[in-house]
Structure 1
Amino acid sequence: MVSRTVILGGLVITAADEVHADVLVEDGRVAALAAHGSQAAAGWSGSADHVIDAAQKYVIPGGVDAHTHMEMPFGGTQASDTFETGTRAAAWGGTTTIIDFAIQPKGGSLMAGIDTWHGKAEGKCAIDYAFHMIMSDVNASSLKEMDRLVESGVSSFKLFTAYPGVFLSDDGQILRAMQRAASNGGLVMTHAENGPAIDVLVEQALARGERDPRYHGEVRKALLEAEATHRVIRLSQVAGAPLYVVHVSAQEAVAELMRARDDGLPVFGETCPQYLFLSTDNLAEPEFEGAKYVCSTPLRPAEHQAALWRGLRTNDLQVVSTDHCPFCFKGQKELGRGDFSKIPNGMPGVENRMDLLHQAVVDGHIGRRRWIEIACAAPARMFGLYPKKGTIAPGADADIVIYDPHAEQIMSADTHHMNVDYSAYEGKRVTGRVETVLSRGIPVIDHRDYVGHAGHGAYVPRGICQYAQ
């Protein structure tokens, strides 16, 4: 029995186009689009199981958040969102696919890390999910495993120039991983900060008695982000491999990416809403409140935001992800009272991204199609999910959001659905709100009611980066 849903009267917005059209969904996929009121669309309605009225609304692809950390262990605790609570919150925010990070255990195999993350996520997710692989131990065995992972649908590998003793890989290890990716079609992602230098500055700051959260931002210098960004770009050039730099926050790092791209290198960059909307002023909030905003790379002075917005407009930055890694203020962020270096690094945001970026449209930073590009289509292309995800076109998964561009809301921990006791955007007024969300044609949010369930979300194996082929 074919299940049919028709979405009537909305403005369909993709990265490529804006068109007033009706959308036919059959068995979880987009079957067709037709001009609103056309004979074809009229015929669909008569045989539909469900009709959704999208008049005066946008009809957009479900968001693809390519950078989340559900249940991630860090600093003696773990991220407060489970795959169940985190994917439910993502759906409330109009995101229908996340790509989370599985972690290779030190001394263990990549497959052991993937198996652990499958165990965490399977049967729990409200929306579809995929995995990247964090390589914490680059050696002959794990390099061989990279080939197997690419073949099985885990085609991106994250390496760190930060966190000595935990995730740090040296330049030789990073180069070897990049060389392997060059041969197997994988994409190396890097957290680009000079970790050993930062550790020196942390030690010196603590010795001076500088212990408040604001010093987290002061020791993680923008120049050390730029230096590491430059270094991984040159290593990728030597290896002949594409490169994706995660959570770019500093204008100096954007400049490194721009220079590389101007030289024609396959180098890509991601930023996050916290760097676009928050700043070191938040880190400096009194009474330890600044701990809520501790993440790495850190928040920067507000003047860096202009370079990030410009990078998004010029396509020197291609993707906005959240780096969603929430820790509650009480009991988790508080682990760093009296020592900023012990504050768990990470912020909540998976529910806020689509709305914040729509506010950027309202504010004139980006256009509507660019909103969909950086939040849906580009992450899907970057990580081998397009056109299954990231667009509304015949054959695509019917991951569709009915979005009310006129509704106003005030962001608050009192009303969000993330499993964390504060909002990074508390009190922020934004225009635009998710009304209804379909995941593979099935309602997850229906007129602001959650109607989904744990286990609906399916694991999605990925192809290779479509920008680097």
Structure 2
Amino acid sequence: MSNLDLVIRGGEVVTASDRAHADVAVRNGKIVAVGIDLPRGKEEIDATGLLVMPGGIDSHVHLDQPSGDGAIMADGFETGTRSAIVGGNTTVIPFALQARGSSLRDAVAEYHAKADGQSYCDYGFHMILTDPTPSVLGQELPALVAKGYTSVKVFMTYDDMVLNDRELLEVFDAAGECGALVMVHCEGYDAIRYMTEKLEKADKIAPYYHAVSRPESVEREAAHRAISHAELTGVPIMIVHVSGREAMEQIRWARNRGLKIMGETCTQYISLTADDLKGLNMDDSGSKYVCSPPPRDPESWAAIWSGIQTGVFQTFSSDHCPFYFEGEYGKTSPKARTGFRWVPNGIPGVAVRMPLLWSEGVEKGRISANEFVALTSSNHARIYGLGNKGSIAPGYDADITLWDHKRKVTITQSLMEHGSDYTPWEGVEVTGWPAMTILRGRVVMRDGEVLETKAMGAFLPRELSSEARRMHGGPVAA
């Protein structure tokens, strides 16, 4: 009897660096061989006509995260990770949010309790740091980084999360001491407050004015300030969910100067515009698209593609932040109807990240299939310390997506499997769709049907990021 648990035959293997017709053999959840005419396995999958790619890694998702003003997030770990595997993802990294006045260690423990036994795919945690006390920075942060929570996110806006410049510098410095990678939400807090109050006084409160209150200038200014802080402290940072040209060019400027600045962009910034927030005659339907930074315009799409093609952006994420549209806690709640300030801020998107990037990128000749793999999987694994993920090669976890690159699909809410009651991409046609998702050698999704249990996913302690290793002179994963 064969000692191979699974052999995937007849497909075209695509990694970040190579593309070739080959079979893939799996044993004990690991890839053990990639080649031609491999021995038979206990289970065989015919991948003829499909691409065999590393499972997607979405390193920016929000699940079961407390929100201010009475809003309730639509996805916990069960529905959020179910949607992830339907979209071809095998790993997600959500956020453990430290509430002000509380312990960072307690926040991580709380999120473990939420996730334990509830995840369909593997997962890690970033930490959101909102209260950088001396004990948090000097004791809790280094201890948690040593245990595999190797990235921390900070915010330059939002009443309950914003850090001032002194606090940002202290966080950057503390992260540098212990090797953590800092992710930064770059939008200027005071400028947004000023614009919001000005618009409200003019009775411009429809969802569309959310975008007006957060123009590119507030993202550009904050990005430049974050880059300056990173330069001063000498630490690598990842500027997340970049929406358009102005912030993108700040990152390009920094990278050209040799600074350790990385960039992430997201699905909404190549496919949605601020005009979507207008809805029908400025009605509440525009609130479906409220997120921050807001979508911009087609000219910004072009700028984002330029950033993707020239290496300004290393990762392409969903920033999946799901809320309900209808109901007491949704985007059309009585409070939300009083003005854009109160509309729950975020959109669902983990299931459409890979199809939209393939359709708009590879199918339209903007990027190669290899670049697609790097942007959706391999770079996430490298940057965020997931050494066994992100490639099709012996020794890697058998996290594999079989990709039907010719399949045309019209996106509908019924395909999403998430907890939210809508998708912002309803009716959009894409070319390219996951036919099968395989997690550690087990088929967890086939043709949109979830086959495994919600306890399949495992928590992943992570190594230091590649950039942090370079800064500290340690070995860097290839």
Normalising by structure 2, report the TM-score: 0.94
Distance of 1:408 and 1:289 partners within structure 2: 27
Return the letter of the residue paired with 1:50: E
Q: Residue 244 of structure 1: SS of its match in structure 2?
A: strand
- CA–CA distance in 2 between the matches of 1:26 and 1:446? 20
The whole-number CA distance in structure 1 between the counterparts of 2:195 and 2:435 is 47
Q: Is the 8 A contact 1:2 1:27 kept in 2?
A: no
Alignment of 1:64-213 (within 5 A): 64-75=57-68, 76-144=70-138, 145-164=140-159, 166-213=160-207
Secondary structure at the aligned position of 2:16 is classed as: coil
Matching of residue 320 in structure 1 with residue 316 in structure 2: yes
- The aligned residue for residue 52 of structure 2 is 59
Question: Counterpart in 2 of 1:379?
Answer: 380
CA distance in 1, matches of 2:23, 2:440: 17
User: How many angstroms apart in 2 are the aligned matches of 1:453 and 1:370?
Assistant: 32
Secondary structure of 1:193's match? coil
Q: Which amino acid aligns with 1:25?
A: V
The answer on whether the counterparts of 1:6 and 1:24 sit within 8 Å (CA) in structure 2 is yes
Distance apart, 1:432 and its partner CA: 1.2
What's 1:281 paired with? 275
Most deviating of 277-286 and 56-65? 277-286
The amino acid across from 1:440 in the alignment is R
CA contact (8 A) 1:83 1:125 kept: yes
Q: Does 1:235 align with 2:229?
A: yes
2:415–2:448 contact (8 Å) kept in structure 1: no
Q: Secondary structure at the match of 1:461?
A: coil
Unaligned 5+ residue runs, structure 1?
A: none
Residues 1:12 and 2:9 aligned together: no
| Alpha-carbon distance change, 30 to 462 in structure 1, aligned in 2, over 3 angstroms | same
Offset at residue 107 of structure 1 (A): 0.8
Matched residue, 1:301: 297
Which residue does the alignment assign to 1:334?
A: 332
CA deviations 1:40-66 (Å, max 9, x no partner) are x1xx11xx1110000110000000000
Q: 1:280 touches 1:302 (CA, 8 Å); kept in 2?
A: no
Contact 1:225 1:250 in 2 (8 A): no
**C-alpha separation in 1, matches of 2:395 and 2:178:** 28
2:308 match: secondary structure: helix
The whole-number CA distance in structure 2 between the counterparts of 1:60 and 1:281 is 35
Match of 2:149, as an amino acid? Answer: V
Distance change (3 Å), C-alpha of 1:448 and 1:211: closer
Q: Is the 8 A contact 1:79 1:325 kept in 2?
A: yes
How far off is 1:2 after superposition?
A: 5.4
Distance 2:263 2:52 in 1: 27
Q: Percent identity?
A: 39
Which residue matches 1:428?
A: 428
Q: What is the alpha-carbon root mean square deviation over aligned residues?
A: 1.1
The amino acid of 2:385's aligned partner reads: G
Contact kept in structure 2, 1:162 and 1:168, CA below 8 Å: yes
- Change in CA separation of 1:456 and 1:2 when aligned onto 2, cut-off 3 Å: farther
Question: Quick one: distance in 2 between partners of 1:338 and 1:208?
Answer: 14
| Contact 2:326 2:332 (C-alpha < 8 Å) held by counterparts | yes
Offset of residue 447 of structure 1: 4.0
Supply the AA of the counterpart residue of 1:160: F
For residues 191 and 408 of structure 1, what CA distance do their matches in structure 2 show?
Answer: 34
1:263 paired with 2:269, answer no
Could you say if the C-alpha distance between residues 3 and 117 of structure 1 is closer, same or farther in structure 2, counting changes exceeding 3 Å?
A: farther
Say whether 1:416 aligns with 2:426: no
Which residue number in structure 1 is paired with residue 475 of structure 2?
Answer: none
Q: Given the alignment of the two structures, is residue 402 of structure 1 paired with residue 411 of structure 2, yes or no?
A: no
Return the TM-score normalized by structure 1.
0.96
SS at match of 2:467: coil
How far apart, CA to CA, are the structure 2 residues paired with 1:124 and 1:132?
18
Moved over 2 A (4+): 446-449
Alignment of structure 1 residues 213-228 onto 2, 5 Å? 213-228=207-222
CA distance in 2, matches of 1:175, 1:448: 45
Q: Counterpart amino acid of 1:161?
A: M
Shift of 1:3: 5.6
Partner SS, residue 53 of structure 2: strand
- Aligned partner of residue 206 in structure 1, secondary structure: helix
In 2, distance between residues paired with 1:119 and 1:310?
Answer: 41
Shift of 1:186: 0.6
Partner of 2:455: 455
Q: Distance in 1 between matches of 2:290 and 2:366?
A: 25
Number of aligned positions between the proteins: 459
Deviations 1:398-435 (A, max 9, x none): 00011111111100113321111111111111111111
Report the equivalent of 2:266. 272
Is the contact made by 1:381 and 1:467 (CA closer than 8 Å) also made in structure 2? no
Q: Give the secondary-structure state (helix, strand or coil) at the position aligned to 2:413.
A: coil
The CA deviation string for residues 110-152 of structure 1, in whole angstroms up to 9 with x for no partner, is 1011001001001000000000000010110110211111100
Secondary structure of the 1:73 match is coil
